[in-house]
Structure 1
Protein backbone atom coordinates (compact mmCIF):
# COMPACT_ATOMS: atom_id res chain seq x y z
CA UNK A 1 0.00 0.00 0.00
CA UNK A 2 1.30 3.44 -0.91
CA UNK A 3 0.48 6.74 0.79
CA UNK A 4 -1.69 7.56 -2.26
CA UNK A 5 -3.92 4.49 -1.86
CA UNK A 6 -4.51 4.95 1.89
CA UNK A 7 -7.21 7.69 1.55
CA UNK A 8 -9.13 5.57 -0.98
CA UNK A 9 -8.96 2.55 1.34
CA UNK A 10 -10.18 4.60 4.31
CA UNK A 11 -13.07 6.01 2.23
CA UNK A 12 -14.02 2.51 1.08
CA UNK A 13 -14.03 1.22 4.66
CA UNK A 14 -16.07 4.18 5.94
CA UNK A 15 -18.67 3.89 3.17
CA UNK A 16 -18.81 0.13 3.61
CA UNK A 17 -19.49 0.60 7.33
CA UNK A 18 -22.40 2.89 6.48
CA UNK A 19 -24.33 -0.23 5.44
CA UNK A 20 -28.05 0.29 4.90
CA UNK A 21 -27.89 4.00 5.80
CA UNK A 22 -26.62 4.92 2.30
CA UNK A 23 -27.63 3.55 -1.08
CA UNK A 24 -26.85 4.91 -4.52
CA UNK A 25 -28.41 4.59 -7.95
CA UNK A 26 -26.57 6.54 -10.60
CA UNK A 27 -26.61 10.20 -9.58
CA UNK A 28 -29.06 9.59 -6.72
CA UNK A 29 -27.86 9.12 -3.16
CA UNK A 30 -30.40 7.69 -0.76
CA UNK A 31 -29.75 8.29 2.93
CA UNK A 32 -31.26 7.32 6.25
CA UNK A 33 -34.33 5.25 5.36
CA UNK A 34 -36.31 4.89 8.58
CA UNK A 35 -39.74 4.24 10.03
CA UNK A 36 -41.38 4.27 13.44
CA UNK A 37 -42.35 1.31 15.60
CA UNK A 38 -46.06 0.48 15.37
CA UNK A 39 -48.52 -0.78 17.95
CA UNK A 40 -49.82 -4.33 17.49
CA UNK A 41 -52.68 -4.47 15.02
CA UNK A 42 -51.60 -1.37 13.09
CA UNK A 43 -52.34 -1.71 9.37
CA UNK A 44 -50.22 1.24 8.17
CA UNK A 45 -46.86 2.84 8.89
CA UNK A 46 -44.87 5.68 7.38
CA UNK A 47 -41.39 5.63 5.88
CA UNK A 48 -38.92 8.47 5.66
CA UNK A 49 -35.73 9.02 3.65
CA UNK A 50 -33.51 11.65 2.03
CA UNK A 51 -32.66 11.58 -1.68
CA UNK A 52 -29.91 13.77 -3.14
CA UNK A 53 -29.53 14.22 -6.89
CA UNK A 54 -25.86 14.81 -7.75
CA UNK A 55 -26.50 14.61 -11.50
CA UNK A 56 -27.55 17.04 -14.22
CA UNK A 57 -31.04 15.61 -14.94
CA UNK A 58 -34.11 15.45 -12.70
CA UNK A 59 -35.55 12.14 -11.55
CA UNK A 60 -38.75 11.24 -9.75
CA UNK A 61 -39.41 8.97 -6.77
CA UNK A 62 -42.56 7.10 -7.83
CA UNK A 63 -42.98 4.45 -5.12
CA UNK A 64 -41.34 1.39 -3.69
CA UNK A 65 -41.85 -1.79 -1.74
CA UNK A 66 -41.64 -2.82 1.91
CA UNK A 67 -41.31 -6.48 2.87
CA UNK A 68 -44.05 -6.22 5.53
CA UNK A 69 -46.57 -4.22 3.48
CA UNK A 70 -49.06 -5.14 0.79
CA UNK A 71 -48.29 -1.90 -1.04
CA UNK A 72 -46.39 1.37 -0.76
CA UNK A 73 -47.72 4.81 -1.72
CA UNK A 74 -46.25 8.30 -1.64
CA UNK A 75 -48.32 10.73 0.44
CA UNK A 76 -48.22 14.36 1.49
CA UNK A 77 -49.40 15.70 4.82
CA UNK A 78 -50.58 19.23 5.50
CA UNK A 79 -52.45 21.09 8.22
CA UNK A 80 -55.45 23.16 7.20
CA UNK A 81 -57.46 25.02 9.84
CA UNK A 82 -55.87 22.94 12.59
CA UNK A 83 -56.82 19.68 10.85
CA UNK A 84 -54.13 17.35 9.55
CA UNK A 85 -54.85 16.09 6.04
CA UNK A 86 -53.09 13.35 4.13
CA UNK A 87 -53.34 12.79 0.38
CA UNK A 88 -51.64 10.48 -2.14
CA UNK A 89 -49.00 11.86 -4.52
CA UNK A 90 -49.89 9.83 -7.64
CA UNK A 91 -47.14 11.50 -9.71
CA UNK A 92 -44.46 10.92 -7.08
CA UNK A 93 -41.87 13.43 -5.89
CA UNK A 94 -39.41 15.18 -8.21
CA UNK A 95 -35.73 15.26 -7.24
CA UNK A 96 -34.13 18.13 -9.15
CA UNK A 97 -30.40 18.23 -10.01
CA UNK A 98 -28.30 19.47 -7.10
CA UNK A 99 -31.19 19.19 -4.63
CA UNK A 100 -32.01 16.99 -1.67
CA UNK A 101 -35.58 15.88 -1.07
CA UNK A 102 -36.45 14.85 2.47
CA UNK A 103 -39.44 12.65 3.23
CA UNK A 104 -40.17 13.34 6.91
CA UNK A 105 -42.89 13.33 9.57
CA UNK A 106 -45.44 16.05 8.92
CA UNK A 107 -44.58 16.33 5.20
CA UNK A 108 -44.15 14.06 2.21
CA UNK A 109 -43.63 10.42 3.22
CA UNK A 110 -43.98 6.82 2.12
CA UNK A 111 -47.09 4.99 3.36
CA UNK A 112 -46.67 1.29 4.04
CA UNK A 113 -50.20 -0.08 3.57
CA UNK A 114 -51.65 -3.42 4.71
CA UNK A 115 -48.88 -4.27 7.18
CA UNK A 116 -48.42 -7.99 7.77
CA UNK A 117 -46.64 -7.59 11.15
CA UNK A 118 -45.87 -4.77 13.61
CA UNK A 119 -42.62 -2.83 13.30
CA UNK A 120 -40.41 -3.10 16.38
CA UNK A 121 -37.90 -0.51 17.52
CA UNK A 122 -34.32 -1.49 16.71
CA UNK A 123 -35.03 -3.75 13.75
CA UNK A 124 -34.26 -3.14 10.06
CA UNK A 125 -36.86 -3.96 7.41
CA UNK A 126 -35.94 -4.45 3.74
CA UNK A 127 -37.62 -2.53 0.99
CA UNK A 128 -36.98 -0.68 -2.25
CA UNK A 129 -37.42 2.79 -3.66
CA UNK A 130 -38.52 3.12 -7.27
CA UNK A 131 -37.36 6.03 -9.43
CA UNK A 132 -38.54 6.99 -12.91
CA UNK A 133 -35.01 6.98 -14.39
CA UNK A 134 -32.72 5.34 -11.82
CA UNK A 135 -34.98 2.30 -11.41
CA UNK A 136 -35.29 0.25 -8.24
CA UNK A 137 -32.93 0.84 -5.31
CA UNK A 138 -32.76 -1.68 -2.43
CA UNK A 139 -32.82 -0.09 1.05
CA UNK A 140 -33.28 -1.10 4.68
CA UNK A 141 -35.57 0.97 6.88
CA UNK A 142 -34.25 1.33 10.44
CA UNK A 143 -37.19 1.23 12.86
CA UNK A 144 -37.05 3.92 15.54
CA UNK A 145 -39.16 4.70 18.59
CA UNK A 146 -42.93 4.90 18.13
CA UNK A 147 -42.88 8.72 18.53
CA UNK A 148 -39.49 9.40 16.87
CA UNK A 149 -39.22 12.62 14.87
CA UNK A 150 -35.84 11.77 13.35
CA UNK A 151 -33.85 8.64 12.45
CA UNK A 152 -32.19 6.94 15.40
CA UNK A 153 -34.12 8.97 17.97
CA UNK A 154 -34.83 7.08 21.18
CA UNK A 155 -38.11 7.25 23.06
CA UNK A 156 -38.04 9.28 26.30
CA UNK A 157 -36.63 7.09 29.06
CA UNK A 158 -35.12 4.52 26.65
CA UNK A 159 -31.77 3.27 27.89
CA UNK A 160 -29.23 1.24 25.97
CA UNK A 161 -27.38 -1.51 27.87
CA UNK A 162 -24.30 0.74 28.16
CA UNK A 163 -26.48 3.57 29.56
CA UNK A 164 -27.80 1.24 32.27
CA UNK A 165 -24.26 0.28 33.22
CA UNK A 166 -23.25 3.92 33.50
CA UNK A 167 -21.43 3.95 30.17
CA UNK A 168 -21.87 6.38 27.29
CA UNK A 169 -23.79 5.25 24.27
CA UNK A 170 -22.66 8.01 21.93
CA UNK A 171 -26.13 9.60 21.88
CA UNK A 172 -26.82 13.07 23.23
CA UNK A 173 -28.88 12.97 26.42
Structure 2
Protein backbone atom coordinates (compact mmCIF):
# COMPACT_ATOMS: atom_id res chain seq x y z
CA UNK A 1 0.00 0.00 0.00
CA UNK A 2 2.82 2.42 0.89
CA UNK A 3 4.51 1.88 -2.47
CA UNK A 4 1.25 2.63 -4.32
CA UNK A 5 0.86 5.90 -2.40
CA UNK A 6 4.51 6.82 -3.12
CA UNK A 7 4.11 6.20 -6.86
CA UNK A 8 0.84 8.17 -6.89
CA UNK A 9 2.55 11.12 -5.17
CA UNK A 10 5.45 11.01 -7.65
CA UNK A 11 2.99 10.94 -10.57
CA UNK A 12 1.18 14.02 -9.22
CA UNK A 13 4.47 15.93 -8.80
CA UNK A 14 5.58 15.04 -12.34
CA UNK A 15 2.20 16.12 -13.76
CA UNK A 16 2.30 19.49 -11.95
CA UNK A 17 5.90 20.21 -12.99
CA UNK A 18 5.25 19.36 -16.64
CA UNK A 19 2.13 21.58 -16.77
CA UNK A 20 4.03 24.53 -15.25
CA UNK A 21 6.90 24.13 -17.72
CA UNK A 22 4.71 23.68 -20.77
CA UNK A 23 4.18 26.42 -23.38
CA UNK A 24 0.53 26.45 -22.31
CA UNK A 25 1.51 28.21 -19.06
CA UNK A 26 0.22 31.75 -19.61
CA UNK A 27 1.48 33.23 -16.34
CA UNK A 28 2.81 36.78 -16.05
CA UNK A 29 6.34 35.47 -15.80
CA UNK A 30 6.30 35.35 -19.58
CA UNK A 31 7.51 38.96 -19.88
CA UNK A 32 11.25 39.35 -20.33
CA UNK A 33 13.12 42.59 -19.61
CA UNK A 34 16.62 42.95 -21.06
CA UNK A 35 19.24 45.68 -20.67
CA UNK A 36 17.13 48.14 -18.64
CA UNK A 37 18.58 51.46 -17.59
CA UNK A 38 17.35 54.90 -16.59
CA UNK A 39 19.12 58.22 -17.00
CA UNK A 40 18.59 61.95 -16.96
CA UNK A 41 20.40 64.35 -19.25
CA UNK A 42 21.62 66.59 -16.40
CA UNK A 43 21.85 66.11 -12.61
CA UNK A 44 19.27 68.89 -12.14
CA UNK A 45 16.81 67.54 -14.73
CA UNK A 46 13.18 67.19 -13.70
CA UNK A 47 12.73 64.38 -16.23
CA UNK A 48 14.49 61.15 -17.16
CA UNK A 49 14.10 58.35 -19.69
CA UNK A 50 14.24 54.57 -19.32
CA UNK A 51 15.39 52.22 -22.03
CA UNK A 52 15.00 48.44 -22.23
CA UNK A 53 13.98 45.56 -24.44
CA UNK A 54 10.62 44.08 -23.45
CA UNK A 55 9.75 40.60 -24.68
CA UNK A 56 6.37 38.86 -24.54
CA UNK A 57 6.39 35.10 -23.98
CA UNK A 58 3.02 34.83 -22.25
CA UNK A 59 1.26 32.80 -24.92
CA UNK A 60 -0.97 35.69 -26.03
CA UNK A 61 -0.69 39.08 -27.66
CA UNK A 62 -0.78 42.03 -25.29
CA UNK A 63 -0.32 45.80 -25.20
CA UNK A 64 1.69 47.94 -22.79
CA UNK A 65 -0.72 50.76 -21.98
CA UNK A 66 0.90 52.58 -19.05
CA UNK A 67 3.73 52.74 -16.55
CA UNK A 68 4.17 54.34 -13.16
CA UNK A 69 6.78 54.79 -10.47
CA UNK A 70 7.09 56.57 -7.14
CA UNK A 71 10.23 58.20 -8.56
CA UNK A 72 8.24 60.80 -10.47
CA UNK A 73 4.83 62.40 -10.74
CA UNK A 74 4.16 60.74 -14.13
CA UNK A 75 5.62 58.04 -16.33
CA UNK A 76 4.52 58.16 -19.96
CA UNK A 77 5.20 56.02 -23.00
CA UNK A 78 7.00 58.33 -25.44
CA UNK A 79 8.22 58.18 -29.03
CA UNK A 80 10.84 60.14 -30.94
CA UNK A 81 10.02 60.78 -34.60
CA UNK A 82 11.85 62.58 -37.35
CA UNK A 83 10.07 64.77 -39.89
CA UNK A 84 10.96 65.25 -43.57
CA UNK A 85 13.39 68.06 -42.63
CA UNK A 86 15.29 65.87 -40.16
CA UNK A 87 13.81 67.59 -37.11
CA UNK A 88 13.29 65.22 -34.16
CA UNK A 89 10.25 65.57 -31.93
CA UNK A 90 8.95 63.63 -28.94
CA UNK A 91 5.32 62.74 -28.30
CA UNK A 92 3.26 60.58 -25.99
CA UNK A 93 2.24 57.17 -27.37
CA UNK A 94 -1.51 57.37 -26.79
CA UNK A 95 -2.39 53.94 -28.20
CA UNK A 96 0.15 51.99 -26.12
CA UNK A 97 2.75 49.59 -27.47
CA UNK A 98 1.57 46.32 -29.01
CA UNK A 99 3.56 43.22 -28.02
CA UNK A 100 2.67 40.11 -29.99
CA UNK A 101 3.40 36.79 -28.31
CA UNK A 102 6.96 35.74 -29.01
CA UNK A 103 8.01 39.26 -30.05
CA UNK A 104 10.13 41.94 -28.39
CA UNK A 105 9.97 45.73 -28.47
CA UNK A 106 13.02 47.94 -27.95
CA UNK A 107 12.64 51.11 -25.92
CA UNK A 108 15.83 52.79 -27.11
CA UNK A 109 17.45 56.20 -27.33
CA UNK A 110 16.07 58.24 -30.23
CA UNK A 111 13.06 55.91 -30.31
CA UNK A 112 10.34 54.70 -27.97
CA UNK A 113 11.11 55.10 -24.26
CA UNK A 114 9.55 55.47 -20.82
CA UNK A 115 9.54 59.17 -19.87
CA UNK A 116 9.66 60.02 -16.15
CA UNK A 117 8.24 63.52 -15.62
CA UNK A 118 8.46 65.49 -12.39
CA UNK A 119 11.48 64.02 -10.62
CA UNK A 120 11.65 65.06 -6.96
CA UNK A 121 15.40 64.50 -6.62
CA UNK A 122 18.43 63.88 -8.84
CA UNK A 123 19.09 60.32 -9.96
CA UNK A 124 22.20 58.70 -8.51
CA UNK A 125 24.40 56.25 -10.39
CA UNK A 126 23.46 52.67 -9.46
CA UNK A 127 20.14 53.64 -7.85
CA UNK A 128 17.46 50.96 -8.33
CA UNK A 129 14.03 52.23 -9.39
CA UNK A 130 10.82 50.22 -9.05
CA UNK A 131 8.52 50.60 -12.07
CA UNK A 132 5.07 49.16 -12.64
CA UNK A 133 4.26 48.26 -16.24
CA UNK A 134 0.53 48.03 -17.01
CA UNK A 135 -0.67 45.69 -19.76
CA UNK A 136 -4.13 45.30 -21.29
CA UNK A 137 -4.27 41.53 -20.70
CA UNK A 138 -1.63 40.68 -18.09
CA UNK A 139 -2.35 43.58 -15.77
CA UNK A 140 0.48 45.00 -13.68
CA UNK A 141 4.08 43.76 -13.71
CA UNK A 142 6.76 45.10 -11.35
CA UNK A 143 10.28 45.57 -12.69
CA UNK A 144 13.47 47.20 -11.37
CA UNK A 145 15.50 49.57 -13.53
CA UNK A 146 19.00 50.67 -12.51
CA UNK A 147 20.18 54.25 -13.01
CA UNK A 148 23.13 54.31 -15.41
CA UNK A 149 24.33 57.74 -16.54
CA UNK A 150 27.24 56.19 -18.49
CA UNK A 151 25.18 54.57 -21.26
Cα deviation code 1:82-124 (max 9, x no counterpart): 2111111011100011111111111111110111111122221
Shift of 1:26: 4.1
**Count of aligned residue pairs for this structure pair:** 124
Shift of the 26–126 alpha-carbon distance from structure 1 to 2, 3 Å rule, reads: closer
| TM-score, normalised relative to structure 2 | 0.74
SS at match of 1:144: coil
In the alignment, which of 116, 121, 125 is matched to residue 129 of structure 2?
A: 125
| TM-score, normalised relative to structure 1 | 0.65
Unmatched runs of 5 consecutive residues or more in structure 1: 1-23, 149-173
Shift of 1:38: 4.5
User: Larger Cα Rg: Structure 1 or Structure 2?
Assistant: 2
How far apart are the structure 1 equivalents of 2:52 and 2:28? 14
Residue 78, structure 1, aligned to residue 81, structure 2 = yes
How far apart are the structure 1 equivalents of 2:70 and 2:36? 14
How far apart are the structure 1 equivalents of 2:130 and 2:75? 13
Superposed counterparts of 1:1-173, under 5 Å: 25-80=28-83, 81-145=85-149, 148=151
